[in-house]
Homo-oligomer: A and B are copies of this chain.
Amino acid sequence: MNLDVLVRQTMDVDGCRRNLDTGIDQPEAEFRRTTGQSSADRRRADDPILVDIDASGFGVKRGQRDLSQISHVLVLLNLANYLVAAVMDDDALTLRHLRLPGSIVLDVPGRLGNVSNEVEIGRGKRGRRAYSFDDVAVVPSRRTRDPQDVSTGWQIDAYHFDIPIMAAPMDSVMSPATAVQFGKLGGLGVLDLEGLWTRYEDPTTQLQEIAALPEEQATRRMQELYDAPILPELITQRLQEIRSAGVTVAGALTPARTQQFYQTVVDAGVDLFVIRGTTVSAEHVSANAEPLNLKRFIYELDVPVIVGGAATYTAALHLMRTGAAGVLVGFGGGAAHTTRVSLGIHAPMASAVADVAAARRDYLDESGGRYVHVIADGGVGRSGDMVKAIACGADAVMIGAGLARASEAPGQGWHWGPEAHHIQLPRGERVHVGTSGTLSEILFGPSSLADGTLNIVGALRRAMATTGYSDVKEFQRVEVVVSPYQPH
């Protein structure tokens, strides 16, 4: 059980804040669940309970550092003359009690225990129940609003975007040209700086070849095509193409190649630097090479960094502590991954986003106000998925397959990621996603399809309006139900 459930005992100022051991004057104590800093957050029903009994010598986890480690707190105040608090954390169950003039017995198992989503797989193993976007849905509640009153704007660091969408740095989605076009439409296009565009002077032939490959040869031939070396001068050239168009410039490297190429990237001039891998941790261990020290790297770099994938609260929290401006959430959730079957690894996206959103909130508190953006990266195939990603706590989404369906997309109806051409262990496949419309129609319509592939910003706008929310940040609070989708 990994519930970081905390209770902060707040008493009124006169008399009660003194040492509980010496007595309290006011018999009526008030427990308030608080978390984070904003009053908006305070009102959230799903906030954890923070324990902070100010009793020198007897305080429960007094001066506790890593509150996320506490899994279960029981506070028992006996009316006779003792205050008893039992704290169960990962390593020990500690029992403490205090002498009191009066006492109170308080047990909150309903809150602490019943919503736990941990299940026992078998006697020797427990696991959390995790949910994908298909498992959840947004429900309308009290209020409705006009779609035109809704703002879909997104601001990260100094950069403002009209739509909360990053285009995924994948060769099937982003070329320098589509990056420019996507930027002009209000989003943030990210170019893969390890893809065909930095390996070939003009990769048009290669893209056409990939689109034409027969099924059984695709993986093998892509392994060969991506074996060509990355040319630093092409990195420079591609980024300058984008910059000259006047849109925000963003390029992506994997952690493994960041040290080798980042200087080229920075020199070429990027506004946002993306470090993207299937799993990126703040603490990479290697016996052979000096691993990338993310914290130091980000600190020394002048450019804001968006980094990921991270799929859990802890992983994301550590990434946030490196100084990143944004964290990409995901692992193998996208259309072009088969990691669940090959690696056994899967991070259901609704749970992953909600976890990382909690890390953002806790890090906001811990850092005294640094707001790190949470970007859902994977599983955002249809407009409904984008809606759900934000409903689960994302500030923005990174879309691959959904934009690969544009008529301008370099993939020409096909979509693939770097996993699809790994030399030793391909963990994805080139998939056919087809073509739905122009990039502009995919984003803003008009639509004549009801399958969530066209007018995706209009869909987000309508979902927000129907549930009464007026901006993306606010919409993270919308009510969600769990109800696995069973199409007929």
Contact = CB atoms under 8 A, between A and B. Distances in A.
Contacts of A97: 27-28, 79, 102, 104
A96 interface: yes
Given A126-B115, A344-B384, A145 B426 contact: no
A234 interface: no
- Which of A96, A117, A134: most chain B Cβ within 10 A? A117
Interface in A424-467: 424-429, 445-452, 455, 458-459, 462-463, 466-467
Interface string A19-31: 0000000011111
- Which of A80, A122, A281, A287: most chain B Cβ within 10 A? A122
Contact of A121 (B110, B286, B470, B480): B480
B49 A345 contact: no
A306 B134 CA distance: 33
B111 A425 contact: no
A350 to B, nearest CB: 5
Contacts of A141: 312, 314-315
A428 B219 CA distance: 35
A13 interface: no
B93 A219 contact: no
B481 A351 contact: yes
A61 interface: no
A158 interface: no
A449 B45 contact: no
A100 B95 CA distance: 16
A323 interface: no
Given A43-B90, A82-B102, A344-B391, A120 B116 contact: yes
A280 B141 CA distance: 10
A160 interface: no
Nearest to A317: B142
A485 interface: yes
- Which of A80, A138, A359: most chain B Cβ within 10 A? A138
Nearest to A114: B113
Contacts of A66: none
B92 A142 contact: no
Contacts of A71: 45
The number of times this chain is found in the oligomer is: 4
B482 A32 contact: no
- Which of A103, A283, A481: most chain B Cβ within 10 A? A481
Nearest to A470: B285
Given A139-B347, A451-B341, A392 B121 contact: yes
A379 to B, nearest CB: 11
15 contacts: A2-B45, A72-B110, A114-B114, A117-B120, A121-B392, A124-B354, A125-B392, A127-B482, A137-B345, A137-B346, A137-B347, A140-B310, A142-B282, A312-B479, A344-B391
Contacts of A121: 117, 131, 136, 350-351, 354, 392, 480, 482
Interface in A413-433: 419-420, 423-429
A386 interface: yes
A390 to B, nearest CB: 9
A31 B92 contact: yes
A298 to B, nearest CB: 17
Contact of A448 (B46, B49, B132, B426): B426
A326 interface: no
A334 to B, nearest CB: 11
B219 A284 contact: no
